[in-house]
A and B are shown apart, each in its own frame.
Chain A
Amino acid sequence: MAPTIAPIIIYILSFITPFIITLLGLPLHIKLMHKRGISGVDIHKEDKPKVAERGGIVILIAIILSSVLMIILVNDPELRLSIGIFCITVTIAGLIGLVDDIFNLSALLKPFLLLFASIPIITSKRYKPEPILPFIGKTRLTIAYIVLLPFIIAVPANSVNMLDVFNGSMATTTIIVLIAVFFSNMIVFGNGFDQLDNSGLTYVFVLIMVGTLLAFWIFNRYPAKVFGGDTGSLAIGGALGAIAVMGRLEVVVIIAMIPFIMNAFGIISSVKGLLERREMTRPTKMTKDWKIESTRDRKAPITLVGLVIQKGPLHEKDVVKTFNVLAIVSAILAIVIAVLTNLSGVVS
């Protein structure tokens, strides 16, 4: 039997391990992608640089390796299983993204396949069909929950994918969501860092994701040296969904993801259904001074970016900042939800 390791060490390692793996892995990945000619043009820059693609592969590897390390370090078999299930769920979502990056899946097939990412959680029963709501407390949904569960994974995955359009936008906004989830977990379940139980595991998942994303952001921020691709965005979105279900923070994650969902609503309502990014008319174009402005094309999807730039063109960095402001507001609201849940005294 492995020696018991203090939870705080596990928390620290769950942040540092993926951070280092991603930090060391991405430069190698960038070199390899350029060597193989797998790069995309960054159309928002004047010199149209070629940027390495599929950085999500490193994100996925970092999450898998960190999860394996946590499985080795944690003593409780139940917790080990939960970490394994989290890892498998994220891997399935990431692999669907990888297949999409390589073969370009249709706009309907991708979300449909993502519904299957929840199978490991359902079959291993790593969920409680009792979402916690403020004032109400635990609600028993049993059958309805199982029906909704695949969507709790697929919707965040697709929403994150839809907002991954500018340098650093996905990394910063999801880090903000994860920080909100971290504090909400602390508030709702009143957990410190001195023990590692089911709600403590949420810290582990969040820290793995923040560690990975922080290192990814270093290479993906303006001007980007690597794009995450669908592999990265679907893996991260899938992870958010898995954290929501396994950490029993469904409502907190929904509220923290309001900007992502609004963007998805806008796109779906304007193009009347699901369309792949490649099939849609571009909603933005560049000005002479390389700012982003709306194309005003009626066929183009209405996105969050479109709303942000309607008062005038903005530099790419500023567009990402506006996304961050929206994410910060919804993160604060998510934490308020957690406080209200705690104040209602409905979680025992």
Chain B
Amino acid sequence: MSIIQSVSSFVKNIGSGIMSYFRLTPRLAKLIGLEIFVFGTFIAICVVISEGIMRIPDSPKPGLNFLFAALKVGISLLLIGLWTGVWYYLTKRLMKNDRQKNKEKEENK
């Protein structure tokens, strides 16, 4: 086999490999959507923390300042916790909905 033939079969193999990945992607639309949603909400939370919570000015009184700092961390952690909760809930819903659809399909058969 000449070098050109080997290279062309190598490129073909890679091409068909990539195509096989693309063929599978439509099955994953919902999951990819959820991934992007999780990412997007995380970014949104970061913006809220950066532009909102972090803008709360420091207090000149040390005791009050500590309270403010603790409050900032607390609210931020609460938001991150909420984000994780929503992520968990949506994953659960997505998976349960799909199981329900499957069951209905089976029954219709």
Interfacial residues, chain A to chain B (CB-CB below 8 A): 133-136, 139-141, 144, 251, 255, 258-259, 261-262, 265-266, 269-270, 294, 296, 298, 302, 304, 306-308, 310-311, 314, 318, 321-322, 324-326, 329-330, 333, 336-337, 340
Contacts and interface: CB of A to CB of B under 8 A. Distances in A.
Contacts of A325: 21, 24-25, 28, 32
Contact of B32 (A269, A310, A318, A329): A329
A136 B20 contact: no
B101 interface: yes
A134 B43 contact: yes
Contact of A302 (B38, B54, B95, B106): B95
A139 B99 contact: no
Contacts of B96: 270, 302
B86 to A, nearest CB: 11
Contacts of B39: 255, 258, 330, 333, 336-337
Contact of B102 (A135, A310, A326): A310
A330 B37 CA distance: 11
A329 B21 contact: no
B50 interface: yes
Contacts of A302: 95-96, 98-99
Nearest to B53: A136
Contacts of A306: 95, 98-99
Given A133-B46, A340-B43, A266 B21 contact: no
8 contacts: A136-B49, A259-B35, A266-B92, A307-B30, A307-B98, A311-B27, A321-B21, A325-B32
8 nearest A-B residue pairs (beta carbon): A135-B50, A302-B95, A269-B92, A265-B91, A333-B39, A136-B50, A135-B46, A266-B95
A338 B72 CA distance: 24
Contacts of B68: none
Contact of A296 (B38, B42, B51, B106): B106
A329 B25 CA distance: 11
Contacts of B30: 307
Contacts of A133: 46, 49
Contacts of B103: 296
A323 B54 CA distance: 38
Interface string B1-39: 000000000000000000011001101101110111011
Given A134-B43, A255-B42, A329-B35, A265 B92 contact: yes
Contact of B35 (A251, A258, A296): A258
A265 B99 contact: no
Contact of A322 (B24, B49, B88, B101): B24
A105 B38 CA distance: 33
A144 to B, nearest CB: 6
A133 B73 CA distance: 13
Interface string B43-63: 100110111001000000000
A333 B24 contact: no
B72 to A, nearest CB: 9
Contacts of A261: 87
